[in-house]
Structure 1
Amino acid sequence: MDCISGLPDELLHDILLRLDSARAAARTSVLSRRWRYVWAHLPELVSDGNGTDSDSAAPPASFLDSVDGALRAYSAPAIEALDISVPGPRCPAIPARRVGSWLRFASRRRGSARSVSTCPGYTCWKLVGRRRWRLGFRPAGVFMALTDLEIRGATMEGRVLEALVCSQCPRLIDLNLVVTLAAKSDVSLRYDSLEALCFNVENTRRVEIVAPRMEELSVPYSDAVEARISAPKLAELAWDGSDCDPRLHQFADAIRHLRVLEVSKISAFLMQQLDEKLTS
């Protein structure tokens, strides 16, 4: 037996994780009987669409099938991170049954703090499009184990976004949204568990965020005419979108505990409001 094959599984997992691709890791199963199931116990799975036709209008069936096949073959009782990057710059939609099954897999394989992970103890879900792609689905069920959710590069309906992140993933701690709404819409996010939010949502009218435990809020871009943020524990605020004007963007009970404030543009009215809040 070669020196590498004789290493403990934990070290082999560390080696395969550096490939940053579930497909590449699975190919090592042909090396020998020793390697056949090593990849199927990795604490993280990454499917990045390498080897697919990036100019196609939809994700190739081979890519979707490879993701489903990897999840079916996965043997470990727990997974710490599932990262699926969808190929295709003009992808119109990902079938509902596909996304629903991926979410159910991530929810059922709840992470363990004993596993090697970039986010110990949490179950992570990351769905990324290479450019702009359409996410239209209404999967059934509630994903109670999900605590970290990232959706990037997607176009989706406002009500679908609200239903997914608020109703179907009720225990999120860290939420990262880089999406475009299919039509100009209001967005309301209400969370008791949320601690960190990156809200980069285009095509919004009014935004309401109610998060009593949230300590970090980042808004890289916002075209919302009005916004109301209720986050009494907010400690870090980064607002790089439109002018942060308290007459339109209200931070109810969310100013007093600020330690870090980053804004691209700031009005005299905002400075006055901050001064009144912090000295009262």
Structure 2
Amino acid sequence: MISELNDDVLLHILCFLPSATDVARAAVLSQRWRRLWALAPELHFAVGPGSFADEQGKDREKFAVSRRDAARRLIAGVDATLARRAASGEGDDDVDALAISLVYSSNRYYFHDHHHEADVTPLRFGGWLRFAERHVKGSFALELPLVAPVAAAVAVAAARRAAWEKANITSMTDEGVVIFVEHVAPSANAEEEEEAAPEVVELPRSTRAEVMSLNLGYATVSVPATGAFRALTDFTLHHAVLDAGGGDDDDLRLGHLLSSSCCPRLRRLRLQQIGGLAALRLDAADTLEELRLVNLPDLRRLDVDAAGLRQLRLSGCSGSAEMEAMAISTPRLEDLACDGMVHPDRLRFAGAATVRRIKKLFLFTHGSGNDGDDANAAALWLLNNCVALDHLDVALFFAMVIYIYIYIYT
């Protein structure tokens, strides 16, 4: 009989179930299992696909309420499970892997109304971060929908943009290209009352976690002043805003937290869709092999020293005209993907001679403005200095500017 197996074997079997919900359901098979399921070494919570095709029919509201109620039950289950696990003590509170995904996986409609944003409060997911900080010794993944204030701002901005476009689009050409009149869309927060300061959540600090992926729904976060990721090999942070109330400290702390002194084993680092990051100084461990910096709109100064880096991607890191300085020292770099290099006058790049593959190198034609001129100068500099190339991927752009007025944060 399966129930006659020892606890370690039963817990190993439970690890093969895809989610914590399935583990809890399996526990009804045996009274003994009801005690064991909360001790499973891996916990996975996910809201599932949540197909938005349901909302197109006459039962749109019914489906929305059903999904919201299911998500709320899952969120309450996360709270209860983690609280029970933390209270168990005597080593039973540790978790090898914890994954919490509250974003519908179907087609990744990240900006779609998830109906449960109001339940994902900073106080609540801040508690999950603290649990991971103390109890996760393997991998931790947290994926949140847009936090409620941001979700509301996006909805207001989208409605304002739709109304503005309706009032200002003059005609459609025979080729179907929209022609806009020369107007500037108003700011999303124009003539509105001053909003309350956002709640701030501190990023976790863990000496045992090996892999960490945080998608925080544009929550406002602060960086801990002390702490280290001694075991961390893979770190991803995206859809977050650094706390403006911390001044320049959070910029400095983030760079320090991810540098060799605090992350001596880091191999892969991804920072994506992060607001409020004006300067990044990264003195990386020699173990770092892959670095991705994508859509950091406020970045003005970048300094990367990574002796072991092999792959580097830079995309959307401020407009090249706004970037004050970029210094990159990567003597072993092989793969480079970039569409945001600065003008060579503001660029120090030690390592171009070892680059073998360049992807997404942008060249702009006439009428592209200062950003296009800087990008072209940087592209020509790379072509002249990357002398070991055996693969080159170039994208040629003509002058076309698309403005999207969605204000995520101020």
**How far apart are the structure 2 equivalents of 1:202 and 1:64?**
33
**How far apart are the structure 1 equivalents of 2:47 and 2:349?**
40
Deviation at 1:141, TM superposition (A): 3.2
Structure 1 gap segments, 5+ residues each: 112-121
1:30 equivalent in alignment to 2:28: yes
Structure-2 residue corresponding to 1:188: 281
1:125 equivalent in alignment to 2:224: no
Instruction: State whether residues 26 and 40 of structure 1, in contact with CA within 8 Å, keep that contact through their aligned partners in structure 2.
Output: no
**How far apart are the structure 1 equivalents of 2:10 and 2:308?**
39
Deviation at 1:173, TM superposition (A): 1.4
The structure that has the greater radius of gyration is 2
**How far apart are the structure 2 equivalents of 1:139 and 1:69?**
26
Instruction: State whether residues 220 and 241 of structure 2, in contact with CA within 8 Å, keep that contact through their aligned partners in structure 1.
Output: yes
**How far apart are the structure 2 equivalents of 1:71 and 1:212?**
41
**How far apart are the structure 2 equivalents of 1:12 and 1:177?**
35
After superposition, residues 49-198 of structure 1 pair within 5 angstroms as: 62=76, 65-66=79-80, 68-69=82-83, 72=86, 75=92, 79=96, 81-85=97-101, 93=122, 98-106=128-136, 109=137, 123-129=210-216, 131-138=217-224, 140-157=226-243, 158-159=250-251, 160-166=253-259, 168-182=262-276, 185-192=278-285, 193-198=287-292
**Which structure has greater strand proportion?**
1
Q: Given the superposition, is the C-alpha separation of residues 45 and 125 from structure 1 closer, same or farther in structure 2, using an over 3 Å criterion?
A: farther
1:255 equivalent in alignment to 2:352: yes
- The TM-score normalised by the length of structure 1 is 0.69
Query: Which of the numbers 332, 336, 340 marks the counterpart of 1:237?
Result: 336
Instruction: State whether residues 205 and 223 of structure 1, in contact with CA within 8 Å, keep that contact through their aligned partners in structure 2.
Output: yes
Structure 2 gap segments, 5+ residues each: 49-65, 104-115, 140-208, 244-249, 364-375, 389-410
1:215 equivalent in alignment to 2:328: no
**How far apart are the structure 2 equivalents of 1:67 and 1:242?**
44
**How far apart are the structure 1 equivalents of 2:85 and 2:230?**
19
Structure-2 residue corresponding to 1:275: 384
Deviation at 1:144, TM superposition (A): 0.9
**Matched residue of 2:222: which SS?**
coil
Paired residues, number: 252
Q: Given the superposition, is the C-alpha separation of residues 66 and 235 from structure 1 closer, same or farther in structure 2, using an over 3 Å criterion?
A: farther
**How far apart are the structure 2 equivalents of 1:169 and 1:163?**
9
**Which structure has greater helix proportion?**
2
Deviation at 1:99, TM superposition (A): 2.4
Deviation at 1:207, TM superposition (A): 1.1
The amino acid of 1:150's aligned partner reads: T
**How far apart are the structure 1 equivalents of 2:300 and 2:352?**
23
